[in-house]
Amino acid sequence: MARVTRFAPSPTGPLHLGHAFAALTAAARADRFLLRVEDIDQTRCRPAYEQAIYDDISWLGLTWETPVLKQSTRSAAYQQALDLLSEKGLSYHCTCTRSDIRAALSAPQGPEGGPIYPGTCRNKPHPDGALRLNIAKATADLPDLSFIESGQTFRFNPRQLTDDIILFRRNEGFAYHLAVVVDDAFQGITEVTRGADLLPVTPLQVTLQHLLGLPTPTYHHHRLITDDLGKRLAKRDDARALSKYRAEGATPDDIRHMIGM
């Protein structure tokens, strides 16, 4: 079977060494390498950053299939997935603001580091607001699930998931977790290659795949590129932007050496 991987950056800042590692890793593991522009949150995305994605990864020597999938064009597909969850009674409206949630004392930390939603709106019928997944209801009848991580089977009990994640927010649109599983299936991705920071949310995404009747790809979560102090590179680390190294005369081979490839 052809191995299909993807690189899925958000055009919210310049690509840095960590993105180069992610893109090169995904391409090296693929028969078909796809690009997906995760521009779902239009308030944070910039066209210039999107163009820079194409410039930077072609400079690295990568080629990808066209047309590139842009999440900003995929609302109908995300809405269909949302409708499916709503028809099964697995979502509810939530009118809490982020500070309401922070104020709910003793909110434990979720796998992404943010607070776990305390469930304030779960049993209140609200006509509008954001949409959340009722995780307890959604997972009540699911068996144990599994996915393959770097060749090893990783089993989990979906009933241990406790966060009623956001599926849709009025201002920001569809949520990342929903979009990513819908698009990986739509693009026929066989292996999701991405940073180790996303391993903790993979059981949730695999659970969403089951709820939506989507296939589960295999996963390869790779190491994260850190700075000299061992801190993970972030979008704001413009000092490590690929375009900056390039302007200073670095070659794609120099970049490979810097990230140990």
- Where do contacts with Zn ion occur on this chain (CB under 5 A)? 94, 96, 120-121
d(CA 151, CA 111): 23
Site string for ligand GLU, 179-198 (x = CB under 6 A): -x-------------x---x
Among 14, 21, 35, 38, interactor with ligand GLU by CB under 6 A: 38
Give the x-and-dash track for 116-145 against ligand GLU (CB under 6 A): ------------------------------
What's the token pair of residue 236?
């704001």
CB neighbours of 256 closer than 8 A, spacing ≥ 6? 24
Minimal distance, residue 229 CB to Zn ion, in Å: 38
Residue 96 contact among ligand GLU, Zn ion, none, beta carbon within 5 to 8 Å by kind: Zn ion
Terminal Cα-to-Cα distance of the chain (whole angstroms): 26
Interface with ligand GLU (CB under 6 A), residue total 7
Q: Which residue of 4, 8, 27, 178 would you call a contact of ligand GLU, by CB under 6 A?
A: 8
Cα–Cα separations (whole angstroms), residue 149 to 49, 51, 96, 146, 218: 31, 32, 35, 9, 6
Stretch that binds ligand GLU, among 4-12, 44-52, 97-105, 151-159 (CB under 6 A): 4-12
Contact (Cβ atoms closer than 8 angstroms) between residue 93 and residue 122: no
Q: Which residues bind ligand GLU (CB under 6 A)?
A: 8-10, 38, 180, 194, 198
